[in-house]
Amino acid sequence: MSSSEVNQSLALAMTGAVAPKDLVDELCTEVQKMALHESRSSMFIKKKACLCLLRMLRKFREKFSPLEWVNPIV
């Protein structure tokens, strides 16, 4: 929720790397918004959010449907 790119970047990196399933469940929609829908996010933050989604997908494959992300990311 911070407006600082540094804080957003650190939060996304932590979420993708070490977040437990409960935290991923809570933050999944926010990360998707940052990666795919928010025009106010910089390209750096969008890239970090996409990487975070990828890490969450690899850890909790049953939670996600990556087909939703393919067209907006491409």
Kindly list the domain boundaries of the chain, sorted by start residue: 5-69
Q: What is the pTM of this model?
A: 0.80
Cα-Cα-Cα-Cα dihedral of 32, 69, 74, 40, to 10°?
Answer: -20
**Residue 51 is which amino acid?**
L
Q: CA–CA separation, 10 vs 68, rounded Å?
A: 25
- Model pLDDT, residue 12: 92
- Helix, strand or coil for residue 59? helix
Q: For the ranges 18-22, 26-30, 50-54, 66-70, which has the lowest average pLDDT?
A: 66-70
pLDDT digits (tens, 9 = 90+) for 7-44: 999 999 998 889 898 888 888 888 888 888 777 778 89
At 23, list the tokens: 């935290």
Q: CA–CA separation, 49 vs 41, rounded Å?
A: 10
